[in-house]
Amino acid sequence: MSKNFPADSVGVVKPTVQHFTDPLMLDCGRALAEYDLIYETYGKLNEQRSNAILICHALSGDHHAAGFHSEEDKKPGWWDSAIGPNKPIDTNQFFVVCLNNLGGCKGSTGPVSINPLTGKLYGPTFPIVTVRDWVESQARLADTLGISKWAAVIGGSLGGMQTLQWTLQYPERVSHALVIAAAPRLSAQNIAFNEVARQAILSDPEFYKGRYYEHNTVPRRGLMLARMIGHITYLSDEAMRAKFGRELKEGKLNFGFDEAEFQVESYLHYQGRSFVGRFDANTYLLMTKALDYFDPAREFNHDLVKTLANVQAKFMVISFTSDWRFSPERSREIVQALLRNRKSVNYAEINANQGHDAFLMPIPDYMAIFHAYMQQVAKEVNV
Amino acid sequence: MSKNFPADSVGVVKPTVQHFTDPLMLDCGRALAEYDLIYETYGKLNEQRSNAILICHALSGDHHAAGFHSEEDKKPGWWDSAIGPNKPIDTNQFFVVCLNNLGGCKGSTGPVSINPLTGKLYGPTFPIVTVRDWVESQARLADTLGISKWAAVIGGSLGGMQTLQWTLQYPERVSHALVIAAAPRLSAQNIAFNEVARQAILSDPEFYKGRYYEHNTVPRRGLMLARMIGHITYLSDEAMRAKFGRELKEGKLNFGFDEAEFQVESYLHYQGRSFVGRFDANTYLLMTKALDYFDPAREFNHDLVKTLANVQAKFMVISFTSDWRFSPERSREIVQALLRNRKSVNYAEINANQGHDAFLMPIPDYMAIFHAYMQQVAKEVNV
Report the half-sphere exposure of B215 (CA within 13 A, side-chain side).
11
B257 touches chain A (CB under 8 A): yes
A45 touches chain B (CB under 8 A): no
Q: Do B187 and A224 touch (CB under 8 A)?
A: no
Per CB-CB distance under 8 Å, the chain A contacts of B229 are: 196, 229
Q: Do B232 and A188 touch (CB under 8 A)?
A: no
Q: Is-contact B88 B371, C-beta < 8 A?
A: yes
Query: Distance between CA atoms of A188 and B246, rounded to whole angstroms?
Result: 6
Catalytic status, residue B323: yes
Q: In what order do the strands lie in the sheet with A35-42?
A: A16-20, A35-42, A95-99, A52-56, A150-156, A174-180, A314-320, A345-350
Per CB-CB distance under 8 Å, the chain B contacts of A232 are: 189, 192-193, 196
- pLDDT at site A233: 96
> How would DSSP label each residue in A214-268?
GGT---HHHHHHHHHHHHHHHS-HHHHHHHHTT-BTTSS---SSSS--BHHHHHH
Catalytic status, residue B157: yes
Q: Is the pLDDT of residue B251 over 90?
A: no
Q: Would you write out chain A's pLDDT as a tens digit for each of its 383 residues?
A: 455 789 999 999 999 999 999 999 999 999 999 999 999 999 999 999 999 999 999 999 999 999 999 999 999 999 999 999 999 999 999 999 999 999 999 999 999 999 999 999 999 999 999 999 999 999 999 999 999 999 999 999 999 999 999 999 999 999 999 999 999 999 999 999 999 999 999 999 999 999 999 999 999 999 999 999 999 999 999 999 999 999 998 888 999 998 899 999 999 999 999 999 999 999 999 999 999 999 999 999 999 999 999 999 999 999 999 999 999 999 999 999 999 999 999 999 999 999 999 999 999 999 999 999 999 999 998 76
Per CB-CB distance under 8 Å, the chain A contacts of B29 are: 255
Q: What is the ipTM of this complex?
A: 0.94
3-state secondary structure of A14: coil
Q: Is-contact A67 A13, C-beta < 8 A?
A: yes
Query: Distance between CA atoms of B82 and B360, rounded to whole angstroms?
Result: 8
> How would DSSP label each residue in B258-327?
SS--BHHHHHHHHHHHHHHTT--HHHHHHHHHHHHH--GGGGGTT-HHHHTTT--SEEEEEEETT--SS-
Residues 6+ apart with CB under 8 A from A219: A201, A204, A206, A207, A212, A281
Per CB-CB distance under 8 Å, the chain A contacts of B185 are: 246
- Nearest to residue A199, comparing CAs of B285, B226, B246, B255? B226
Q: Do A292 and B261 touch (CB under 8 A)?
A: yes
- Nearest to residue A196, comparing CAs of B207, B324, B262? B262
Query: Distance between CA atoms of B369 and B80, rounded to whole angstroms?
Result: 17
Which residues, numbered 305 to 364 in chain B, qualify as contacts with chain A under a Cβ-Cβ cut-off of 8 Å? 324
Q: How far is A171 from chain B (nearest CA, A)?
A: 26
Q: Is-contact B90 B82, C-beta < 8 A?
A: no
Continuous segment of H or E residues that includes residue A353 = none
Q: How far is A134 from chain B (nearest CA, A)?
A: 15
- Lowest mean pLDDT segment, chosen from A140-149, B86-95, B259-268: B259-268
Per CB-CB distance under 8 Å, the chain A contacts of B232 are: 189, 192-193, 196
Per CB-CB distance under 8 Å, the chain B contacts of A285 are: 257
Query: What's this model's pTM, rounded to 2 decimal places?
Result: 0.96
Per CB-CB distance under 8 Å, the chain A contacts of B203 are: 221, 224-225
CA–CA distances in Å: residue B348 to residues B86, B332, B335, B357: 21, 10, 10, 16
| Phi and psi at residue B9, to the nearest 5° | -100, 150
Other Cβ atoms less than 10 A from the Cβ of A58: the count is: 26
Q: Where are the alpha helices (DSSP H) in B43-157?
A: 131-144
Q: Do B188 and A243 touch (CB under 8 A)?
A: yes
| Range B244-264 average pLDDT | 91
- pLDDT at site A4: 75
Nearest-by-CA chain B residue for A221: B203
Of B244, B263, B293, the CB nearest to A253: B293
Query: Distance between CA atoms of A79 and A67, rounded to whole angstroms?
Result: 9
Query: Distance between CA atoms of A283 and B291, rounded to whole angstroms?
Result: 35
Q: Is-contact B293 B155, C-beta < 8 A?
A: no
The set of catalytic residues of A is 157, 323, 356
Of B189, B221, B240, the CB nearest to A192: B240
B381 touches chain A (CB under 8 A): no
- pLDDT at site B1: 46
Of B124, B191, B260, the CB nearest to A264: B191
Query: Distance between CA atoms of A311 and A317, rounded to whole angstroms?
Result: 14
pLDDT in tens, B111-169: 999 999 999 999 999 999 999 999 999 999 999 999 999 999 999 999 999 999 999 99
Indicate the Cα dihedral angle A184, A190, A195, A201, nearest 10°. Answer: -100
Looking at B90, B113, B356, B357, which residue is catalytic?
B356
- pLDDT at site A1: 46
A241 touches chain B (CB under 8 A): yes
Q: pLDDT averaged over chain B?
A: 96
Query: Distance between CA atoms of A367 and A79, rounded to whole angstroms?
Result: 12
Q: Is the pLDDT of residue B382 over 80?
A: no
3-state secondary structure of B255: coil
Q: Choose from A25, A125, A129, A195 for mutation: most chain B CBs within 10 A.
A: A195
Nearest-by-CA chain A residue for B285: A257
Q: Do A225 and B221 touch (CB under 8 A)?
A: no
Of A127, A191, A205, the CB nearest to B262: A191
Residue B249 — very low, low, confident or very high, per pLDDT cuts 50/70/90? confident
For chain B, percent of residues with pLDDT exceeding 70: 99
Cα radius of gyration (chain B): 21
Q: Where are the alpha helices (DSSP H) in B208-262?
A: 220-234, 237-244
Per CB-CB distance under 8 Å, the chain B contacts of A128 are: 255-256
Looking at B50, B60, B113, B157, which residue is catalytic?
B157
Q: How far is B243 from chain A (nearest CA, A)?
A: 9
Q: Where are the alpha helices (DSSP H) in chain A?
A: 131-144, 158-169, 188-202, 220-234, 237-244, 263-276, 281-293, 304-307, 328-340, 364-380
First to last CA, chain B: 22
Q: How far is B316 from chain A (nearest CA, A)?
A: 26
Nearest-by-CA chain A residue for B234: A189
Q: Is-contact A102 A130, C-beta < 8 A?
A: no
Q: Is-contact B184 B333, C-beta < 8 A?
A: yes
Q: What secondary structure letter does DSSP report for A93? A: T
Q: What secondary structure letter does DSSP report for B114? A: E
Which residues, numbered 178 to 237 in chain A, qualify as contacts with chain B under a Cβ-Cβ cut-off of 8 Å? 185-189, 191-193, 195-196, 198-200, 202-205, 221, 224-225, 228-229, 231-232, 235, 237
Q: What secondary structure letter does DSSP report for B9? A: S
